[in-house]
């Protein structure tokens, strides 16, 4: 694998980030970190979508400029991702100068190619969706089904993109590439939407929307969200209609584009059509994740259950975000909806990270110090049967990641820890020590420590800080590629002293877990 390029949706900066935004970024960061263990050239793109009528209106209400609002809120997203250890390569803003100039060139090229044309139009416009809706898409009361607001009847002369021109090609691509849309069950939903697809508006009259990218050669029109926002995936890596950069040539097409299921239509229909019109290859995979509910209820400002991800860290007094990352990433099977609750969060991370994984490492190292003064002796041969299971788990986890089954991969790592805990219980090294069977005791401890090296490598994408702490206590090189991971990581000689042993994850106690004042 010579490269791995992955993207998230760019978040609209009309507000602050919430736990749903965090879920997507955590998933993508975990995928990026996993593939960095298999590939040297990983590029992870995220960012913010900063144009449109909602930004314009909100800024006016606050008495500031749209750019000032964007600057303020884009920083909130950057700060949140820093707190969650989201290690992206670029954070693109659609107000970035290189993006603006390239979008104008893309728009002009599509006009010149005949893929964009001007047309007078009357339609039902939802400012929340930033798109025109058909009457059949509305609720029985004539409301937008997502925002439950009545769309506005808008009459404008706009530029339209010939989406219908690419309908058959998109259908063919989806049918011939069953893994283009992940999970696969979403493909039928997209094919149904394609049946009555229409050309789409790609500009707005400046009389209605001033805050946008100017259409070259037409000072009465602003480029509308789809050509602007969707193009970020190629403008961010140096695409140009005339002279694309070497970085673009190396990275495109994207290996996976991670988005929420609510914007699948735009990424599996509009975006492929735009790429086809530009004669560019399509991304290999579109991963549509589900939603995160709060205590089994959909997030809503009106009922007051919108949670900021950083508030969870504060609420549980977490120095590092690893527990939250692990919980969110394993909250739902691939493409399905997940749920967050304080009680479940506390119970799950205590069970998996503290009681199971953390305690296994801590008690094994403690026994090594107690019985052997922290030294691994040459006669301590590992149990090949257990190591075979552990090495097989590496392949299983890799296979899950190849199918973007992040929760499922996490479950396999937890399963490996459970198997190893059972191995310790079944073989009782403390009993062997009492019976003065020291070689057998040492062999069990060394076997467990070898497995824990593998566990630290596999859990690293989910819990980078915990994994680094584990690796440090094991004197294990965490930078090793997964394909080079062997069963010879624990070296003979002094491994650790009593003073160097500490828990890699402390249990969340009930007093801390019950705090709710900062929610």
Q: Domain limits of the chain?
A: 342-511
Q: Is 493 left (phi over 0), alpha (psi -120 to 50) or beta?
A: left
Rg (CA), the chain: 26
CA 462 – CA 123 distance, rounded (Å): 45
Give residue for tokens 């824990």: 452
Give the DSSP letter of residue 65: -
Give the CA count within 13 Å in the CB-facing half-sphere of 98.
14
Average pLDDT of the residues in 272-301: 91
**Over the chain, what is the mean pLDDT?**
93
Q: Do 202 and 161 touch, CB atoms closer than 8 A?
A: yes
CA 345 – CA 292 distance, rounded (Å): 13
pLDDT at 512: 39
pLDDT at 208: 86
Stretch (H or E) spanning 183: none
Query: What are the pLDDT digits (tens) for 363-421?
Result: 999 999 999 999 999 999 999 999 999 999 999 999 999 999 999 999 999 999 999 99
Percent of all residues in the chain with a pLDDT value above 90, rounded to a whole number? 83
CA 418 – CA 426 distance, rounded (Å): 12
CA 226 – CA 288 distance, rounded (Å): 18
pLDDT at 510: 39
The set of residues, in sequence order, having a beta carbon less than 8 Å from that of 214 and lying 6+ positions away, is: 104, 221, 222, 223
Give residue for tokens 């989806």: 174
The angle formed by the CA atoms of residues 120, 123 and 125, to the nearest 5 degrees, is 120
Of residues 123 and 308, more confidence is placed in 308
Residue 179 clears pLDDT 70, i.e. is over it: yes
Q: Of the ranges 23-32, 147-156, 439-448, which one carries the lowest mean pLDDT score?
A: 147-156
Average pLDDT of the residues in 425-434: 97
The angle formed by the CA atoms of residues 11, 233 and 78, to the nearest 5 degrees, is 40
CA 26 – CA 22 distance, rounded (Å): 6
In DSSP notation, 8-45 reads EPPEETTS---HHHHHHHHHHHHHHHHHHTT-S-EEEE
- Residue 395 DSSP SS3: helix
Describe the chain by its helix, strand, coil percentages, rounded to 5: 50, 15, 35
Q: Which superfamily, per CATH, for 342-511?
A: Isoleucyl-tRNA Synthetase; Domain 1 (1.10.730.10)
Q: Do 43 and 237 touch, CB atoms closer than 8 A?
A: yes
Q: Of the ranges 44-53, 153-162, 444-453, which one carries the lowest mean pLDDT score?
A: 153-162
pLDDT at 302: 62
Residue 459 clears pLDDT 80, i.e. is over it: yes
Average pLDDT of the residues in 195-208: 92
pLDDT at 136: 78
Average pLDDT of the residues in 301-330: 89
Catalytic residues: 18, 21, 126, 129, 144, 147, 298, 301
In order of 24, 293, 343, the CA distances from 297 in angstroms are 18, 5, 15
Local confidence band at 436 (pLDDT 50, 70, 90 cut-offs): very high
pLDDT at 377: 96
CA 510 – CA 352 distance, rounded (Å): 16
The first and second tokens of residue 185, run together, are 């069950």
Return the sign of the alpha-carbon dihedral for residues 334, 336, 337, 343.
Answer: negative
- Residue 289 DSSP SS3: strand
Residue 518 clears pLDDT 80, i.e. is over it: no
Query: What are the pLDDT digits (tens) for 460-517?
Result: 999 999 999 999 999 999 999 999 998 789 999 999 999 999 999 989 863 433 444 3
The set of residues, in sequence order, having a beta carbon less than 8 Å from that of 177 and lying 6+ positions away, is: none
CA 445 – CA 230 distance, rounded (Å): 53
């Amino acid at each position: 694998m010579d490269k791995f390029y992955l993207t998230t949706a760019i978040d609209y900066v009309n507000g602050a980030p919430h736990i749903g935004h965090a879920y997507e970024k955590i998933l993508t960061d975990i995928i990026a970190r996993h593939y960095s263990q298999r590939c040297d050239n990983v590029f992870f793109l995220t960012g913010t979508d900063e144009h449109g009528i909602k930004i314009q209106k909100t800024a006016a209400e606050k008495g500031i400029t749209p750019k000032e609002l964007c600057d303020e809120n884009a920083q909130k997203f950057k700060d949140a991702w820093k707190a969650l250890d989201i290690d992206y390569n670029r954070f693109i803003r659609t107000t970035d100068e290189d993006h603006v100039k390239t979008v104008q060139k893309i728009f002009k090229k599509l006009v010149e190619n005949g893929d964009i044309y001007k047309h007078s139009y009357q339609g039902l416009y939802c400012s929340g969706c930033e798109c025109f809706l058909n009457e059949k898409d509305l609720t029985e009361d004539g409301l937008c089904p997502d925002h439950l607001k009545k769309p506005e009847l808008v009459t404008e002369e706009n530029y339209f993109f010939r989406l219908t021109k690419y309908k058959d090609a998109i259908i063919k691509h989806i049918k011939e590439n069953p893994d283009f849309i992940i999970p696969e069950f979403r493909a039928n939903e997209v094919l149904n939407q394609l049946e009555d697809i229409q050309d789409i508006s790609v500009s707005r009259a400046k009389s209605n929307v001033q805050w946008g990218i100017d259409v070259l050669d037409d000072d009465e029109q602003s480029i509308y969200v789809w050509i602007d926002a969707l193009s970020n995936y190629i403008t961010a890596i140096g695409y140009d209609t005339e002279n694309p950069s070497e970085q673009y040539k190396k990275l495109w097409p994207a290996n996976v584009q991670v988005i929420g299921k609510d914007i699948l239509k735009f990424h599996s229909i509009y975006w492929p059509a735009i790429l086809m019109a530009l004669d560019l290859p399509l991304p290999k995979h579109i991963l549509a994740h589900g939603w995160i509910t709060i205590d089994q209820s959909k997030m809503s400002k009106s009922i007051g259950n919108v949670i900021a991800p950083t508030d969870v860290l504060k609420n549980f007094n977490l120095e590092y975000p690893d527990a939250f990352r692990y919980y969110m990433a394993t909250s739902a099977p691939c493409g399905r909806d997940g749920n967050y609750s304080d009680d479940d969060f506390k119970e799950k991370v205590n069970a998996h990270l503290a009681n199971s994984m953390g305690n296994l490492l801590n008690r094994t190292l403690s026994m090594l110090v107690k019985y052997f003064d922290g030294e691994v002796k040459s006669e301590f041969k590992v149990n090949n049967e257990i190591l075979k299971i552990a090495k097989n788990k590496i392949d299983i986890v890799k296979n899950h990641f190849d199918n973007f089954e992040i929760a499922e991969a996490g479950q396999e790592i937890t399963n490996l820890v459970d198997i190893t805990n059972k191995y310790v219980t079944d073989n009782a090294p403390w009993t062997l020590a009492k019976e003065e069977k020291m070689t057998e005791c040492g062999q069990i401890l060394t076997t467990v420590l070898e497995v824990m090296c593998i566990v630290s490598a596999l859990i690293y994408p989910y819990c980078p800080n915990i994994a680094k702490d584990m690796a440090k206590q094991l004197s294990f090189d965490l930078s090793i590629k997964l394909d080079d991971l062997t069963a010879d990581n624990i070296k003979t000689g002094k491994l650790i002293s009593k003073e160097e042993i500490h828990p890699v994850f402390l249990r969340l106690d009930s007093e801390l877990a019950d705090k709710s004042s900062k929610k």
